[in-house]
Chain A
Amino acid sequence: MTLTVSDLTISRGGIPVLEGLNFSLEPGGALVLRGPNGVGKTTLLRTVAGLQPAVAGTVECDPESIAYAAHSDGLKGMLTVSENLHFWADIFGTKGIDAALKGFDLEGLVDRPASALSAGQKRRLGLARLLVTGRPIWILDEPTVSLDVASVEMFADAVRAHLAAGGSALIATHIDLGLEAEVFDVGPYRAKPENSTDAFSGSFDEGFL
């Protein structure tokens, strides 16, 4: 399952932030997005994940093959670790959460309510969700926030295993994960200011969305 992005222009709040993006992601490959804060990495990932429409250009891939992990982990504090994971496994129609628990060292915490976890443990649980989705393309937005060194290594191992199994990953991160990954710096693709005024003349409604 190849992800191909061609001539993509994306906007945040009706104003184009990045334009002319071209890259592709082959099975087994990983692509690390770099760029200063606010440049539009999250917007790019959301566009690729299909959560928001592109202004121009195309994202070619089956939306059913993407697993998206955002800044927030989508955990329910009232539910236990295993209930949270079982829920997502049921939603994605996969069976068994043991591999995910093992991969992120959560076995000792299965009966703990998610609200009683530390920030790093929550993050690990959020990343463990990726393993239960069973989807080939991972789109990860700052996955290592609040993880300690050992957990970052755990995460890098999970990504390596995923790549070795023929999956692929698009990761926005500022730290070096020690992966054999191409780095794609989005900084030079910043949208030119004159385009930003066109956004409103093109579609009046967009100004309100």
Chain B
Amino acid sequence: MIALLVRDMKLAMRAGGGFGLGLAFFLIVTVLVPFGVGPESGLLSKIAPGILWLGALLACLLSLDRIFALDWEDGSLDLLATSPLPMEGVVTIKALAHWLTTGLPLCLAAPLFGLLLSLPDTGYVWLVLSLVIGTPALSVVGTFGAALTVGLKRGGLLLSLLVLPLYVPTLIFGAEVARRGALGMDAMTPLLMLGGITAGTIALLPFASALVLRVNLR
């Protein structure tokens, strides 16, 4: 399984791997928002947590269809299915690789982008914390969506439509943690909810993803 993770990371890092795609998209969103809503720092700092979470979520969404599509096209998904790896393990590793290439860089870059949106000082810790806890759920749910749409040509639209409603709880609680943190309020309750959602998706969805992947490979 480590071999699969290493291979996926290598593929992501090499040319055409799409490693920087999510990050670049996140940067574009945060740079363009002040142009769109005006440069008043009061307004910006108010909407910054929500915008940052939304940007992270959309950046995540952007790279979802790559999770299985490439392996499907070149036939390695069939070969992985007949390999000793359990399918549940394959989808878990795929989700982990997606998080390492998309979610983790977003978490690390978020403070910088918070600066661009004049996020209040108290908000940084909570923003990063909420992203670190929340983005794994985005990757796991996204892997499930990618498994559902794996055989479809241009399945990106369907994938987004399927996955977006499932992202809503994570977005609500994640943005709430960042907002309360930025205002200096107690953010423990939404943080626990966010952690619960993430733990639940990680525990349950790999089994569902493996099941639909097996059906799709028929």
Contact = CB atoms under 8 A, between A and B. Distances in A.
B74 A73 contact: yes
A91 B4 contact: yes
Interface in B48-85: 71, 73-76, 78-85
B11 A76 contact: yes
Contacts of A79: 7, 10-11
A87 interface: yes
Interface in A65-104: 66-79, 83, 86-88, 90-93
A72 B75 contact: yes
A51 interface: yes
Interface in A37-83: 46, 49-53, 63-64, 66-79, 83
A61 to B, nearest CB: 12
Interface stretch (B12-20, B108-116, B130-138): B12-20
The main secondary structure of chain A at its interface with chain B is loop
B218 interface: yes
B215 interface: yes
B217 interface: yes
A202 to B, nearest CB: 16
Contacts of B16: 78
Contacts, number: 74
Given A64-B84, A67-B82, A74 B74 contact: yes
A87 B7 contact: yes
Contact of A91 (B71, B75, B78, B85): B85
Contacts of A72: 73-75, 78
Nearest to B17: A78
A170 to B, nearest CB: 13
Most buried by B among A78, A93, A129, A209: A78
B7 A76 contact: yes
Nearest to B75: A72
Nearest to B78: A70
Nearest to A13: B218
B3 A51 contact: no
The number of chain B residues touching the other chain, given as a range, is 20 to 34
A180 to B, nearest CB: 26
Interface string A99-139: 00000000000000000000000000000010001000000
B80 A91 contact: yes
A73 B74 CA distance: 7
B3 A68 contact: no
A66 B215 CA distance: 20
A51 B16 CA distance: 30
Most buried by A among B71, B82, B83: B82
A53 B218 contact: yes
A93 B3 CA distance: 10
Interface string B191-218: 0000000000000000000000001011
A75 B79 CA distance: 10
Given A78-B16, A209-B218, A50 B4 contact: no
Nearest to A129: B79
B3 A70 contact: no
A68 B79 contact: yes
Contacts of B81: 51
A51 B82 contact: yes
A50 B76 CA distance: 15
B11 A87 contact: no
Contacts of A63: 82
Across chains A and B, which 6 residue pairs bring their CB atoms closest together, nearest first? A72-B75, A90-B3, A74-B76, A52-B218, A74-B79, A74-B75
25 contacts: A46-B78, A51-B81, A51-B218, A52-B218, A53-B218, A70-B75, A71-B75, A72-B73, A72-B74, A73-B75, A74-B71, A74-B76, A78-B10, A78-B15, A79-B10, A83-B10, A86-B3, A87-B3, A88-B83, A90-B2, A90-B3, A91-B80, A91-B83, A92-B83, A209-B218
Interface of A: 46, 49-53, 63-64, 66-79, 83, 86-88, 90-93, 129, 133, 209
